[in-house]
Structure 1
Amino acid sequence: MSFKFNRGLFKYDFIDHHAVLCVPVDADVKEIRKRYLKIARRLHPDTCRDESDAEKELANELLSKLVNPAYETLSGEKQRMEHILILSQMGKRLVQESVSVELKSDVTQQLASAPHFEHIYKSAVAQIAETQYDSLQEVQDTIALASELNLVYIMRSAGKIFAAASSAEIPTNAANKAAVTSPPQKQDSVVLQYIRRAQDLISQNQLTQARVELQDALKLEPNNSRCHSLIGVVYLKQNLTTSAKVHFNRALQLNPKDEIALAGRLKVEQITGQKSSGAKRTASSHTGSQQPGKSGGSGLFGGLFGGKKK
């Protein structure tokens, strides 16, 4: 038996493994494994609760041809990151090409137009996952719906602004109640979305993908000091001190008070052993208050320069 899908990411010749497992595209390995084990218990011949031979055969086909390959792809760290990177690039390409997307469900229409789309996305995926494999005859439709959500999500993450849905199109079911009743929020700029994704990726030590996000942001705003300081952090974590220093210096040209760039440049100079007198003065000012990278406050700055490279 072959399974065919003509919605969501599948429509663009992409095998949407996240939709098969019904996990968010940013799910970690632990979440993916937990979800896979639950589906496998449902579909495996030894534990499948369906009584008819036809249903047991369908369950086995779903497990072997869809679920197991999805888990094999997403359970390995390297393969998972490559898959996510492809997704990210695909979302950007679809936005740049102004691809028109047909939204066939209420929840995807809501996801497309709501400003706080990440909350709606994860709530919708979680709700679909609860019953995804309950009815084996409906699994293909459910996977297609999850893939449609993934498609809208990666396009929204890449800066796509869909036309707002009318009030008649906005569902009021339990999964979206919070989204409907929450006050409207201002849409973030595309560059700010890149920066926020990069910050999350840096905190997870996913440096290659963070660098891609920041490079794309700099194409839109070459003089964004925040982008330069963050990409400097990425290069520093990858032991590319020369590139890191270039971006830290550029960030400080644009914003002399950029704390991340100040701390980053000092770190580079400590590593290379080439402290300038100006760097020593800056270091002294930090000694009198807080050490770079050891701020008592919360947020990205406090842990930027720790962790292993990746």
Structure 2
Amino acid sequence: MNPFGYTRAGDVAEAVRTAASDGAAQFIAGGTNLVDLMKERITAPSRLIDITRLPLRAVESLPDGGLKIGALVSNHDLAYHPEVVARYPLLSQAILAGASPQLRNMASTGGNLLQRTRCYYFYDAALPCNKRAPGSGCPALAGVNRIHAILGASEQCIAVHPSDMCVALAALAATVHVTGPAGSRTIEFAAFHRLPGDTPERDTNLQPGELVTAVELPRQGFAAHASYLKVRDRHSYAFALVSVAAALELEDGKIAEARLALGGVAHKPWRDPTAEDLLRGRSPDDALFARVGEHLVRDARGRGHNDFKIALVRRAVVRALQQAVAGGSQA
């Protein structure tokens, strides 16, 4: 691990000023991903800006019926918060499907959004990686790529985003609040993360020095018909091969509203509104769900070891939608 400076920020303004004055500084909260990256010499910040004492731990009900979640709320506290369990069970299910109890106790809401990929090649500093060193190459293209992307990838990078929580936030159409040197702004969740394109080193659309301060959920939480399905190599403490966040609103036996997001298949949580359009106004049945699954992988491309993900998405979408109709979570 390289030497680094340390600053404990007293408020958001101080944290942002410190980051703006040192382009190689990074914010640290729970550190469940950043510390690993530092130990493996994947990242070497010149300074860590400790934000753990900032007043960003509240979960607040909003006048419009939504919910505002402070960036420092732990994954554990968020998953078991009464408002989240009752109104946004999809989010609770997704968080509890990730990591381990010990990590969920430390990991923060804001930090979860900023997780970096778990690609084997990204984590091996002895190998080239366009995400670590732009222009050096992507060994995953022709290498062991079982866990890699089948949607939205480029010839520069086929890594996937690792978060479960973010898949649910994508389906719920959350909004991210950030503060930076230019002031505060909001970012629609669909625009927060990036596809790799020619700049795979950039995971998000945050500007230099910007700090995530909160995540806002809209009023509609799909409490009655939502399900998070995660398919992985083992039942706990494993990243998704494919995951599906499915949320439905049913009226008179038909689907009045639908949300779908996929994890484990792209550089960002994957949400395709055209697939949701296929569900609206229709009666829920397996044939319809199968068509939606097929639609979602219409542009998918496997790279050999990960070809199985295409068929897995089709089946996982059907199962997740079945569970959402039944109002149950993954067994």
Structure number with larger C-alpha Rg? 1
Higher helix content, 1 or 2: 1
TM-score range normalised by the length of the shorter chain = under 0.3
Higher strand content, 1 or 2: 2
Q: TM-score normalized by structure 2?
A: 0.24
Structure having greater relative contact order (Cα 8 Å, sep ≥ 6) = 2
